[in-house]
Amino acid sequence: GNSVTQMEGPVTLSEEAFLTINCTYTATGYPSLFWYVQYPGEGLQLLLKATKADDKGSNKGFEATYRKETTSFHLEKGSVQVSDSAVYFCALSDQNDYKLSFGAGTTVTVRA
């Protein structure tokens, strides 16, 4: 079956630091890959996505590249802000499946 493994947190950074959250996946087909963000007290919001190998998703300064050879979709941001403090979820969805499989989530705290 499909599964997602992401870096355990919590992660604590200073403002303007570089952020990387590792995500690897197992899938039987050719999945679409997603990063969702959950700000405190809110629902999940789609941050970025990639639908095929070598695609790069980007949004709000975050980037992730779909790497089929390493089955990875690592999230990066070059300079984080306090407002980036949130829980980040990596997820995948098979093209033939309605189910979205989530990683365990990584809590990121950015300090001023």
Partner 1 sequence: DTAVSQTPKYLVTQMGNDKSIKCEQNLGHDTMYWYKQDSKKFLKIMFSYNNKELIINETVPNRFSPKSPDKAHLNLHINSLELGDSAVYFCASSQGTGRGYTFGSGTRLTVV
Residues near partner 1 (CB under 8 A): 31-32, 34, 36, 38, 42-46, 49, 51, 87, 89, 91, 93-100, 102, 104-105, 107
For residue 10, whether the previous peptide bond is cis, meaning omega lies within 30 degrees of 0, is yes
In angstroms, what is the minimal distance from the CB of 16 to partner 1?
A: 26
Rounded least distance, CB 97 to partner 1, Å: 6
Roughly how many angstroms between the first and final C-alpha of the chain, as a whole number?
A: 41
Query: How far apart, in whole angstroms, are the C-alpha atoms of residue 17 and residue 75?
Result: 14
In angstroms, the CA 8 to CA 106 distance is 6
Q: Which is nearer to partner 1, 95 or 112 (CB)?
A: 95
Residue 46 beta carbon to partner 1: minimum distance, rounded to whole angstroms = 5
Nearer Cβ to partner 1, position 1 or 79? 1
Q: Is-contact 51 95, C-beta < 8 A?
A: no
* Residue among 21 and 105 whose Cβ is closer to partner 1: 105
Min CB(31)–partner 1 separation in Å: 7
What tokens does 57 get? 């998703």
C-alpha span between 77 and 54 (Å, rounded): 18
Cβ closest to partner 1, residue 31 vs residue 84: 31
